[in-house]
Amino acid sequence: MITLCDNLESFHDGELPPDELARMKEHVDTCRYCAEKLQALRALDRLLTPPLKISARDISAAVIAALPAAADAELSHRLWRGWWKVPALVLASCAAFAICVETGLLPSRTYSLAAELAAQSQASQLSSLLFGKTADGDEELLALMFKGEGK
């Protein structure tokens, strides 16, 4: 259960709503524990308030003077920030190409050469069947080609 004593720091920091503030003021006047704690909080505040000498110098001129250099640095930082993406993209493209070739999604140079040779040998075979010397088996193949499987 939250008691009035638990609200002491909020009271000290001016964070209590007006109705609770009045109740708390009355409470602090009568509660010795809260009165002492409040004194301790105020003492700590006094100790903290001038923590270190803060220069009263206006820094706006220095900030404005530093802005162009900061803008240049930001621009070059932005330009160079993604430099690694270029070689990474090249490497990734090479890897993707190699994978496609290996898996047969793209014809490789050696594959197309072999296919061309095979087509050429098929064409010469067919031409020899049609116009030149033929082996026994080849005649059967020709018959199959012209009549179909229904023979």
Partner 1 sequence: MALLRQDQDLEALRGALEGDTERFAELVRRHQRGVLGFCASMLPYGAGAEDAAQEVFIKAFKSLENFRGESSFSTWLYRIAFNHCCNIKKSTSIRRTDSLDELSSHAREQAVGRLDEPVSHARPELDALAAAMDRLPAGYRALIALRLQGQDYKAMAEAAGLTVEAVRARLRRARLILRRNLQHFFPPKLSA
Distance in Å, CB of 114 to partner 1, minimum: 59
Using the rule CB under 8 A, is 98 a contact of partner 1? Answer: no
Which residues, in sequence order, are CB contacts of 104 under 8 Å at separation 6+? 111
Identify the residue among 1, 2, 59, 79 touching partner 1 (CB under 8 A): 59
Eight-state DSSP code of residue 55: P
Closer to partner 1 by Cβ: residue 73 or 114:
73
Using the rule CB under 8 A, is 140 a contact of partner 1? Answer: no
Distance in Å, CB of 86 to partner 1, minimum: 25
d(CA 105, CA 100): 5
The residue to which tokens 């001038």 are assigned: 50
Structure tokens given for 25 = 């003021």
Closer to partner 1 by Cβ: residue 4 or 126:
4
